[in-house]
Amino acid sequence: MEGQVSKVEFSPETKALVERIIKRYPAGKQKSALLPLLHLAQAEFNGWLSVPAMDYVASILNIKPIEVYEVASFYTMYNMKPVGKCLIEVCRTGPCMLRGAEDIVEHIEKRLGIKEGETTSDGLFTLKTTECLGSCGTAPMLQCGADYYENLTNEKVDTLLEKLKTVKDHSTYMRSNRQEI
């Protein structure tokens, strides 16, 4: 089932990366690696952080699971529930609102037949609104995975949604699925 994690263990490549990340901090300060590791876990385990995934990260860093839960739930980039393959996040704070972000959200809602916060029944798209993503000069904009799509119009959004349908991997912050629009 989508979102279920069968085996919670990083790939050998990710494990090697985790080792390198932990070395960035002084001995005994390995907890500093928590935020980077949660990004990696989300990317590797279907785009969200299940309890087993968080427990796994806790065991790597030799910290208590609660130390992971409290951090994961504090930061907005960590998904505490399963999300669609393409998590679309539309910025709607002041400057984006002034340039028409709310119309873009409405257009995407119509195109996908879902409301903000929902996932399409095929599990492909989740739509969220978000607060300022630092792209005010190229508003309106949305983020999908690591990629920013800027200066949006309804037409550009249509083209993008069409292209994103072909995406095979979860578009997480660690992975670019950049599609030119």
Partner 1 sequence: MTRKLLLHNEHIPGINTLDVYRKNGGYASVEKALKTMTPDEVTEEVKKSGLRGRGGAGFPAGMKWSFLDRKSEKPRYLVCNADESEPGTFKDRYLMEKIPHLLIEGMITSSYALGANTSYIYVRGEYMYVIAILEKAIEEAYAAGLLGKNILGTSYSLDLYVQPGGGAYICGEETALLESLEGKRGNPRLKPPFPAIAGLYSSPTVVNNVETIAAVVPIVNQGGDEYAKIGIGKSTGTKLISASGHINKPGVYEIELGLPVEEFIYSDEYCGGIWKGRKMKAVVAGGSSVPILPTDLILKTAKGEPRLMTYESLADGGFITGTMLGSGGFIVLDETACIVHHLYTFARFYHHESCGQCSPCREGTGWMEKVIHRIEHGHGMMSDIDLLVDVAKKIEGNTICPLGDAAAWPVASAIRHFREEFEYHVRNPEKVKNPKHFELEPFVSEKMALA
Provide the binding-site residues for partner 1, judged by CB under 8 A.
24, 26, 29, 31-36, 38-39, 61, 63, 67, 70-71, 74-78, 92-95, 97-99, 102, 131-139, 143, 146-148, 173-174, 176
State the amino acid at position 125 in one-letter form: F
Nearest approach, Cβ of 121 to partner 1 (angstroms)?
A: 27
- Measured from the CB atom, the residue of 13 and 121 that comes closer to partner 1 is 13
CB of 159 to partner 1, least distance (A): 20
Distance in Å from the first CA to the final CA of the chain:
32
**Which residue, 5 or 43, has its beta carbon nearer to partner 1?**
43
H or E, element range at 40? helix 34-44
Report, in Å, the least distance between residue 115 CB and partner 1: 16
Q: Which is nearer to partner 1, 99 or 156 (CB)?
A: 99
Nearer to partner 1, 16 or 132 (CB): 132
User: Closest distance between partner 1 and the C-beta of residue 45, in Å?
Assistant: 16
Q: What is the DSSP string of 66-126?
A: HHHHHHHTTSTTS-SS---SEEEEEE-SHHHHHTTHHHHHHHHHHHHT--TT-B-TTS-EE
- Burial environment of residue 180 by CB neighbours within 10 A (0 to 12, 13 to 18, 19 or more): exposed
Other C-beta atoms closer than 10 Å to the C-beta of 166 total: 8
Residue closer to partner 1 (CB basis): 42 or 50? 42
Indicate the pairing of strand 125-130 with strand 147-149.
Answer: unpaired
Shortest Cβ 98–partner 1 spacing (Å) = 5
